[in-house]
Amino acid sequence: MRLIKDSSPRILVIWAMLLIAGLVALSLGRWSLAFVSFATLALSLLPPLLAARWSLVLPLPYLVFTTFFFFASIFLGEAFDFYERLWWWDLALHGSAAVGFGLTGFLFVFMLFEGDRFAAPPSAIAFITFCVAMMVGAMWEVFEFTMDTTFGLNMQKSGLDDTMADLVLNAIGGLIASLTGYVYLVRNTAGLLGMGLSEFIHMNQRLYQKYKHRLKK
């Protein structure tokens, strides 16, 4: 109930659409569409469920981003063939996802140090952030390969060329995220993306005790 209560109306609409689409597809015997619908719904629910399990508070923009990303990449991309209709669809999704997962990696690494900016050089934390973004990007490529070979989808499109282009975009997005994290550690601000980092840290201060104490001084 808390998960539903704290969610944006737009997110609830997407979840409802996915549920209805999956049920209708099942009734019509369209198994692939039903699978895509329920898979998208499950992945969209995963971040808030994990956050609740680990007692984390997710900023609404983060929840909106993850929900729209899974909806746009799996449901619109596969069920409605947006990857073929819009040439930039795959590029935009992979680039934005790399930035988002990179920032998530920064928050996780920073949390391991309890928000202590001096426990490791900012450059080292930024490097780990880049590595996390690349790791998640590589895992997504494995996921696409698995979906294509197991369920007959076409997420990889042109195969090797598509995979390598996606990894290059992951590297660019990861670099943006790591630079954002570096600047944030050095200057306590980093533009719009830095505001997102500050919001998450502020909402989960118990995980960043040393950084919170520094801000109070």
Sorted by where each begins, the domain ranges of the chain are: 1-57, 81-216
The pLDDT, as a whole number, for residue 211 is 66
Q: Which range, of 17-21, 55-59, 119-123, averages the lowest pLDDT?
A: 119-123
Confidence of residue 217 (pLDDT cuts 50, 70, 90): very low
Task: Give CA–CA dist 83/34, Å, rounded.
Answer: 19
pLDDT (0 to 100) of residue 20 = 93
Q: How does pLDDT run across 137-188, given as a tens digit for each residue?
A: 889 888 888 878 887 776 777 778 878 888 898 899 899 999 999 999 888 7
User: Structure pTM?
Assistant: 0.77
Q: Give the pLDDT band of residue 30 (cuts 50, 70, 90).
A: confident
pLDDT of 60 > 90? The answer is no
